[in-house]
Chains A and B, each alone.
Chain A
Amino acid sequence: MADVPRHRALGLTDAQVLEMYRYMALARAVDERMWLLNRAGKVPFVISCQGQEAAQAGAGFALDRGRDWLCPYYRDLCLVLIWGHTARTELLAAFAKAEDPNSGGRQMPGHYGDRRLRILSGSSPVGTQIPHAVGIALAMKMRGEDAVCYVSFGEGTSNQGDFHEALNFAGVHKLPVIFFCENNKYAISVPERRQLACANVADRAQGYGFEGVIVDGMDALEVYRVVREAVDKARRGGGPTLIEAKTYRLSPHSSDDDDRSYRSREEVEEARRGDGIERMRQYLVSVGLLDEEAEERMRQTIRAEVDEATEYAERAPYAAPETLMHHVYAEEV
């Protein structure tokens, strides 16, 4: 009996799993470009998704881009690319240009939002988006829609009151929410063991009456599998799930951080060897879906896309200063 490749056993087509890989590589390329631009003094701030692409890709493909809702957090670059944003939109945000669909250059990069795509606008105080997702899910339930709401956050953020209030609310009302914790081992400089007295963030779900699932966040296909299960359950009226994807933040917290002050280079190098993008690449090669030539073609396309986006975004106009006063309230026309 010939082995069915893992992705097919999970219900993903060859084209889909290749797309997944392409989004991960694209997210990494956009992220790296932002760092270059930051170091060149062209964009004042970068917050990174490096190391968390696989978790986001798995989750993104398990959701339905046509109906589900997102309340993402600042590291979800790969997720929002899957959801319809592009290198161009995110570079527009990095350069704080008026055409940025997230906020028109009002917010720092990484503060995603887009009504057209059902991505609710996020802010900087961590965890505030978690009850919003519960409210969206409540609306879905009240209207009898079968959409689910996905919300993500870091492990440090799972100590915020809003995390606990939101999970409890969703548990009591059995709402279709996917709580997705991207545990990257650090909250800026503070390691996980100084954030949590319990072993896993997922353990906290028990207190709220629903399932907590731990998944290897460097394995996009495994993340896809568990998120898919949670989504199916939520659509069937089975309520929320807390999923903890164990990942690692390969870059410093942000462009203003120096992570050498709190973790060793050896530790980071070790984590890099388990990078989810490389693991996906090896998988695709092993099942015969990718060879060097195809890989090189893909990388060239991505490079061209990121180059074009950078050029476009750099040249795009800023918001006019007179727009400062706009949109505090609905404009009276």
Chain B
Amino acid sequence: MAVKLYIEAIHDALAEEMARDARVFVLGEDVGVRGGVFRVTQGLLERFGEARVIDTPLTESAIVGVAIGASAAGLIPVAEIQFADFILPAVNQIISEAAKMRYRSNNDWNCPMVIRAPYGGGVHGALYHSQSVEALFTHVPGLKVVTPATPADAAGLLRAAIRDPDPVLYFEHKKLYRSVRGEVAESDDPVPIGRAKVQREGDDITVITYGLGVHLALEAAGRLADDGISAHVLDLRTLRPLDEEAILEAARRTGKVLIVHEDNKVCGVGAEVSAMIAEHALFDLDAPIRRLAGPEVPAMGFAPTLEKAYMLSVDGVAEAMRALARF
């Protein structure tokens, strides 16, 4: 076991997959000489050469479109979108092309590719460097969407994404890059896509969350424990496909469910999780399902007051958890 930062775990897993499989290559803006604006791909150019670490023009649709073509021709591209906010010019390629390639060709063609994108706020990124865009893609059959919260999952899910025969969107939370440290196994085992993980066992209430929310919920759960409230925390890890079994099990365990995410509430992942529980476990509930999510504004402001007002906090999550426990 080595202790690594979240960002190191991504970097190392990517480098190891590139060493393990010569078909894997990286493309994106500033990923080569600069090593990525967040330094995720630092040193890869020196180690693997410019044929496998490609500084592309500033051209998101082509980054994804070229990756689709390269994957069809037998390579395994890991495309970096510099900020998740800037994935929008590539949405047609992702949804019309990558997501449908296998289905539309009746299983003749597929797109084994990964799109990595740093997302999320709390980093003074303002409207266009802070967004959570995952729900735009979780609606789309043909895509897989992962949002690791810990260094171990960041490594394991990246490995799984790279080895997956279908397109995977890999969203990495920017605020976790250098704020979260954790143990990462030396082995190169992937973390299976589609499996949630219980991050804390508890009996009074269940928090279902992902990404940064996991850390807020765990810290809040620690505080609640001091008051004698026992919280169960489920980290979804994969947002498409959702781990229905784990979600229902976590909901039934306490009968009280709070869903937490930074992305805004309406039609967010929490809506689907909540509907799933309502459809299959309604009579096991002891309280209405609650959601704590980002506000219904287009994106978060630059001013620290506005950013703070947008972002979830440990205090806010703890309060919502207490309120649910009291119900």
Contact = CB atoms under 8 A, between A and B. Distances in A.
Contact of B68 (A102, A106, A135, A329): A135
A134 interface: yes
Interface residues of B, number: 43
Interface stretch (B36-44, B58-66, B267-275, B293-301): B58-66
A128 B106 contact: no
Contact of A139 (B56, B74, B103): B74
A320 interface: no
Interface in B44-67: 51-52, 54, 56-57, 59, 61-62, 64-67
A168 B59 contact: yes
A3 B182 CA distance: 79
A318 interface: no
B69 A103 contact: no
A131 B92 contact: no
A120 B72 contact: yes
A54 interface: no
B182 to A, nearest CB: 30
Interface string A234-269: 000000000000000000000000000000000000
Interface string A102-132: 1110110001011100001101110010111
A72 to B, nearest CB: 13
B106 A103 contact: yes
B69 A123 contact: no
B106 A131 contact: no
Contacts of B101: 121
B304 interface: no
**In the A-B complex, the 9 residue pairs with the closest CB atoms:** A135-B69, A131-B65, A104-B106, A139-B73, A132-B69, A165-B62, A121-B105, A135-B66, A135-B70
Interface of A: 69, 71, 101-104, 106-107, 111, 113-115, 120-121, 123-125, 128, 130-140, 142-143, 149, 161-162, 165-166, 168-169, 172-173, 326-331
Interface of B: 25, 51-52, 54, 56-57, 59, 61-62, 64-75, 77, 89, 92-93, 96-97, 100-110, 141-142, 144, 165-166
5 contacts: A69-B73, A113-B104, A125-B96, A135-B73, A165-B57
